[in-house]
Structure 1
Amino acid sequence: MSSWLVDVTYCFVELKHTLVYSSYVYAYPLCNTMLQPAIANTALPAPILFHPLKHHLGYINEFVQKYNPAQLPALAQNLQSIGTSQLDFYTGTLQPIAIASEITDYLRQQNLLQPDAYLTYLSEHSHHYRIVNLSDGTAWVLRWGLIAERYVHIHPARYAAQTIRVKAVTLKTAIAATIAARQLSKPISLQFVNHVRAQWLYLPPLTSLESTSGAGKLIGLISGL
């Protein structure tokens, strides 16, 4: 196995500062650069905050296809930014820029694009979020964003049309294994995936790899198998 597969280190976000709006407290990361690459690479307009590496199949497909060994140090940071919880993964055809544009247009039409108006809009819901429907029939959640000037945090709604609900660790496994297989010209196998999980993600081995569920299903979606 090539040495570049092993040389991975993680950088963790440390929450230090808080910003108080009305009766709500929002934590701001001391170092918020971990979320920036996935945002900047899609050239989304402010104030949209969207993490396509976490929520958008089309973006991930492109991300995997264009990755090269020279970018390996940043890969650990990118995968870490996916988090540790469950997430909803959009499989539709709208590109991130189109999603952002539709949501921005909706907020502008409702006079909700300014921070104060948007925050009031969110606070009027008991759970401090809203759901909007886009042109392809998918539902998207609007929250308060924690990145400066990107206060409209969006992600697919839970169990919405054209989404898959997955564990973050499963998505990390699928992305890492697909990139490694492409770079090393290796076939995807249980042994190979478990090696990537151990060396890149510091995770225990999988007991099986099925094409219809879990990491195997996501690898198929990402790799086009």
Structure 2
Amino acid sequence: MLTAEQVKTHWWRAAVAVAAVAVVTFSRDDPFAGLFALVPILVWCAAARSGRAGVVTGLVLLALLAWFVLPRELGLAGPWVPAAIEVYWLHTTLAAVVCAIGSRKPGPWLLPAFGGFVVTGGVLVAGWQEAPSDEGVLPGPAQLRIIEDIDCGSGGCWRVAESTGDHAAEVWQAHLTARNFTPAPALDGVTRFCRTTGLLVNHQTCAEVRPLAPDSARVEWYVE
């Protein structure tokens, strides 16, 4: 049973860990990336010494976690929004640096940083020709009836949303614009919208909006 002194000394561990788990619950589009991002902060909460350095380092790790998870899940875009793949290697490396500074023992934190690069390679290989995730395209406009599908070709796979409803194409264009997609050069006469994230490595998702009739449209999206 914990004593009052132990609670007073170690309360920050539980508080930071719970806050980190709360942040990761927002990682709906890339849940594995969110769970992986939890590892450094949970290790720190379990292994760090108590005191001001432990609390401050834990809060820095929490802020770092929020930066790598929340902007993307909120549909934001731009060069300051980390891409999901950067969670595995860049976030892990930065978190290892923060932990090394906080503990003043850099050696033990080299392993998590190396592990982040290994996992990054595995994720890239596993998802080489897989269809993209929702990527901010879905959930689609609520006023449309949407049927989802996946198509594949020699260059990989892409997601498809067949939609019906009044002014379907225009509704999709407004939806993508609201999700921080911007107009891109048309491809074979088809309207395109793209969104880019990534601090050091660009991750660009493009969606093509094909009007089929006044009340139907087909949206295809892929990662370039």
How high is the TM-score relative to the length of structure 2?
Answer: 0.29
Instruction: Say which one has the larger Rg.
Output: 2
Q: Which has the higher contact order (CA 8 A, sep 6+)?
A: 1
